[in-house]
Structure 1
Amino acid sequence: MRKTLPAALLGLALLGAAAPASQASTEAPPALPAAQPATIQQAQLDWNLSGNQREAAAEYTRFIRSLHERAGTILRGHGDNTVWQTNAGNDIIEVIVALPEGRRLSLYLTTQNLYLRGFATAGGGGPVFQFTDPTYDLGHQLGRNAVNLGYSGSYGNSNGNQGLQVGDAANRTLAISLAGLQGQFQTLWRHAADGNQNQNSVRNALVHAIAAIGEGTRFRNIEGTVRAGIASGATITAQEAGEENQWGPGSTYMLNETARPGAGGSFNLGGTNLRGFGDMSRYISMVKRPG
């Protein structure tokens, strides 16, 4: 369901004023005051992570496909070889994750770049917890009070701002399992509910959320690894972790190959040399729209 948030709503950010790297405070920063939001489009997608391993693996495939369809349009291909392109603009997708014990967690992404912007308890009246970003204010866009996490959503430090402290790809070779993802999302739910979880645990949970949702939507092979992990346990490989920082350049290469096939030469993606749109589409399932 897609709806327009009226401009009359009141509200309130992914990169900015950072806490010290060693800080592991469990005290939540104060909520930011409300502000006037711009008119944006917001869509909701459900992801049921409360079933057994077989059910949850099938549900993950359905969820990622629905995210492809909601966040973009088909660029080329069909069936399992389809490549999507993200939509323009910063429309918001709220992913509502159903967890055991009846808990529901909201995760917010923007469509053009598939960035995770923040999280909250689904349907709750509390604040949204957002990455600190001087260029984007999630709370403002949603018309809700917000709490800055004190670090950005970048894997490493960016423009002097602290990120998630996993800039080295070796730190993103994550072990994926159903119980593990449920536990990571429960950490985010509890933090959204009380703001009192260990900051390093929250950071780690956000890295897992980005891998399962953002990277799984961008990369076909990462989607496959997460699905296999949910079913029976798997680990994101060094190759896959290396791909994650190359989505933008890889998208540009694929768009150029669409316009002028063969003109781009080869492309090294995560340490693997690939040539042409077909080769790249075995890895990238959704390209980033320029802008």
Structure 2
Amino acid sequence: MQISETNSGRRVGKQNDTDTGTGESLDLIEVPVPRAIVNSIQISRSDKLVLMFLLLLLFGLILGPKDCQAKCREEPARDCEAICDASGRNCSIRALVLLPDDNMYQASLPRVLPILKVAEQQIRAKALIPPHIDFEWLAHDTKCDASLGVIKAMDGIIKQCAQVIFGPVCDYSLAAVSRITKYFNSQGTPLISVGGSTYDFEQKKTDCNDEFYMLLRTGMLSFETISELTINVMKRHNWSHSIFYYERDGQRSVAGMHTCFLMMKSLGKTNA
């Protein structure tokens, strides 16, 4: 999926049945993004800082020095992994966006894609990247499903040669995708997500042996920090016994299936 400008507005182009050169078609979705909506989005100062941080970090990961390598397997680089072609004139950052196309979820394609465009506008307005570098937002509907998320991630890397991944946010889907991104492309592919709230995503991610090596979490809170707050409140009031009631599949809109169960699981590990 590519976002292009027209006289009437911006549209995320539908690429269903698009020939990829391999005889296969891409199952992408169409999300209209009118110019008026993009231009009218108002975000707070803190939101702008977060968006700027995300994109600056993206540029650092992709445009950083060549000696910063993260090879987890020996794989020759493909020509499409470079941002610019051999002439140096045609340059593009291909960002894969893996989110559900359903506004039942707090982080959905219709909600997030316009915000990514706002962030891009902020970057361009401040001339933080050369004007000849284009963005391609390659959006895929994961339906908040772990297996489908993996398939969509592989489609984005193999068929579209994405250089960075935004999402998934649903925890099960995020876990499945972020386990294998260190093997995507010749240097691994960075994955940036505001999800990953459960305890496992808090573990070390500094070398290839780590489970979620290429994952970068940008969320403000995690289930572990909420658990620590709960335990500290109990200690402050000398509460030694507690019973927690929760809906196993509650708050599905936040992190997908079993969100409340995963929160309780993190609380149990923190209190262990």
TM-score bracket, shorter-length normalisation: 0.3 to 0.5
TM-score under structure 2 length normalisation: 0.34
Q: Which has the higher relative contact order, 1 or 2, with Cα contacts under 8 A spaced 6 or more apart?
A: 1
TM-score under structure 1 length normalisation: 0.33
Give the structure with the higher percent strand: 1
